[in-house]
Structure 1
């Protein structure tokens, strides 16, 4: 069962293989040019440095993360000064000198809306099937009607159970709607031997975008 306690324990015990050092190359390659000051939501952000990159592009970035340990490590690793205030059950950490906030707490209790964009590298695939539809609905409710979404999904074969979970391409469209378009895809099992060693012949990472014209 994937619960909040599951994720808190993963951070506590350092089992965070999902964390990527540096900035995700697919973010740099595929993020659309948006007006400066656009509000960007990063659900289940962990301690991803992708948020630093987005803030440095001039966007107002809000990451939401359950684990206080992840938040502390992100702020500490990047030597960021910040101020904190309580907002109901959520703690809001506002970074000095960068347009960046980390909201600490349960994503499903985060109810701000009218974000101009959403970046999801490892949030949807962290959700078990039973919670995935609720996650996508909650995320879309946070966005303006004309918002951009950049999403990374995984689909794989073999006996592995997530997280990260395998999500079929049809499921992505069913969840996010027909406006979402696949813009890139790569079978990592062909380029990275570790996936083959784990028993995968397919470990496909796809990039999707909702980008209103």
Structure 2
């Protein structure tokens, strides 16, 4: 059962193989050029340095993360100074000298709206099937009608149980709507032995994007 406690325990145990220190090359390659000051939402952000890259492009970045340990590590590892205040049961950590803040708490309790873009590297695929559609609806409700979305999906064969979960292409389209487009994919099982060793012939990482209607 994938619960909040499951993720808190993973962080406490250091079982965070999903974390990558480097900036995701797919973010750099496929992120759209937005107006400076655009508000970018990063759900289930962990301690991803992708947020720093986005902030350095001049966007107002908001990451949302359940684990206080992840938040502390992100702020500490990067030697950020920051201010903290509470909004209900959420803690808002606003970084000094960078347009970046981390909202600590349950993502489903986060209700701000009108974000100009969303970057999902490992959030949707972290959600079990029972919560995935709710996650997508909640995320869509946070975005403006003209928002961009950049999403990283996974689809794999075999008996592996997530997270990360395998999500079929048709399911992504059904949840996110007709405007989402698959713009790139790579079968990592062909180039990375670790996936072959786990018995995968297919371990596809795909890139999806929703563009504003006027684009």
TM category (shorter chain) comes to over 0.9
TM-score (norm 1): 1.00
Matched, 1:147 2:147: yes
Matched, 1:165 2:165: yes
- Aligned with 1:173: secondary structure? helix
Counterpart for residue 41 of structure 2: 41
Matched, 1:59 2:78: no
Counterpart for residue 117 of structure 1: 117
Give the whole-Å Cα distance in 1 for the aligned partners of 2:206 and 2:175.
15
Q: Which runs of 4+ in 1 moved over 2 A?
A: none
Query: CA RMSD for the aligned pairs?
Result: 0.3
Counterpart for residue 189 of structure 1: 189
Following superposition, the deviation at residue 21 of structure 1 comes to 1.0
1:77-116 residue pairs with structure 2 within 5 A?
77-116=77-116
- Aligned with 1:174: secondary structure? helix
The count of corresponding residues between Structure 1 and Structure 2 is 213
1:84-104 alpha-carbon deviations (Å, 9 max, x no partner): 001100000000000000000
Give the whole-Å Cα distance in 1 for the aligned partners of 2:128 and 2:151.
17
Give the whole-Å Cα distance in 1 for the aligned partners of 2:20 and 2:53.
14
Give the whole-Å Cα distance in 2 for the aligned partners of 1:16 and 1:201.
24
Give the whole-Å Cα distance in 2 for the aligned partners of 1:65 and 1:30.
24
TM-score (norm 2): 0.99
1:173-202 alpha-carbon deviations (Å, 9 max, x no partner): 001001000000000000101000011000
1:89-120 alpha-carbon deviations (Å, 9 max, x no partner): 00000000000000000000000000000000
Following superposition, the deviation at residue 22 of structure 1 comes to 1.3
Following superposition, the deviation at residue 211 of structure 1 comes to 1.0
Following superposition, the deviation at residue 77 of structure 1 comes to 0.6
Structure 1: unaligned runs, 5 residues or longer: none
